[in-house]
Amino acid sequence: MTVRQILSYPDPRLSQACEPVTEFDAQLASLCEDLIDTMRAAHGIGITAAHIGEARRVSVIQLAGNEPVRVHINPVILTVSADLQRFTEGSVSMPGMTETVERPAAIRFRYQDLSGVPHEEGAEGFLATCIQHEIDQLDGIFWLKQLSRLKRDRLVRKWEKQASF
């Protein structure tokens, strides 16, 4: 399909909540194909429609090249575990910038597939972190907001310095 341009932090569209998808048609399937191609071109493991300037609740995740691509339409977290875990996170909208983020170790979530069929699943470990990260983005919560103010400010300064070159 098409590799789309990824918005760069601090584009204000990255802070906007996305609208639910109501039409499950060829246009949606095409958007998902574009997201997969764009994610792979950016060497990412997850991307949302928000990252390419489309305010629609669509995300795709592929943790490894040999795993199937997970397409989540209108995903919503239902429950989270009390146990927490830490993983290094980053964003295709802020390439090269990473930091450790603490999130619930397991989640239960609901989403629709490309045909609009609802699904409910559980996830744990790194997959749970990735799903939470992408749902946050769909809610207009850029991953930096999960960091302490000190870590966030340090990372933003580093990003701004890198972007000025």
Q: Which of 117, 44, 114, 131 is nearest to 79 (CA)?
A: 131
Distance, CA of 49 to CA of 16 (rounded, Å): 12
What was the pLDDT predicted at 165? 63
- Per-residue pLDDT, averaged over 144-151, amounts to 96
Q: Which of 6, 31, 19, 51 is nearest to 114 (CA)?
A: 31
With a CB cutoff of 8 Å and minimum separation 6, the contacts of 62 are 36, 39, 40, 45, 46, 68, 69, 70
Rg (CA), the chain: 15
40-46, Cβ contacts within 8 angstroms, sequence gap of 24 or more: 41/3, 42/6, 42/92, 42/95, 44/92, 45/130, 46/130, 46/133, 46/134
Q: How many domains does the chain have?
A: 1
Q: Where are the alpha helices (DSSP H) in the chain?
A: 26-41, 125-138, 149-163
What share of the chain in percent tops pLDDT 90?
Answer: 95
The structure's pTM equals 0.96
What was the pLDDT predicted at 107? 98
Assess whether pLDDT exceeds 70 at residue 1.
Answer: no
Distance, CA of 77 to CA of 122 (rounded, Å): 10
Output the six-digit token pair for 1: 């399909």
- Per-residue pLDDT, averaged over 22-30, amounts to 97
Domain containing 140: what range? 12-163
What was the pLDDT predicted at 163? 78
10: confidence class by pLDDT, cuts 50, 70, 90: very high
pLDDT, one tens digit per residue, over 47-85 is 999 999 999 999 999 998 889 999 999 999 999 999 999
Distance, CA of 64 to CA of 88 (rounded, Å): 16
Q: Which of 78, 73, 68 is nearest to 58 (CA)?
A: 73
pLDDT, one tens digit per residue, over 27-54 is 999 999 999 999 999 999 999 999 999 9
| Residue 3 counted as domain residue | no
What was the pLDDT predicted at 65? 83
Assess whether pLDDT exceeds 80 at residue 164.
Answer: no
- Per-residue pLDDT, averaged over 124-143, amounts to 98
| Residue 154 counted as domain residue | yes
Per-chain mean pLDDT for the chain: 96
CATH number of the CATH domain containing 17: 3.90.45.10
| Residue 7 counted as domain residue | no
pLDDT, one tens digit per residue, over 88-122 is 999 999 999 999 999 999 999 999 999 999 999 99
Residues catalogued as catalytic: 134
| Residue 79 counted as domain residue | yes
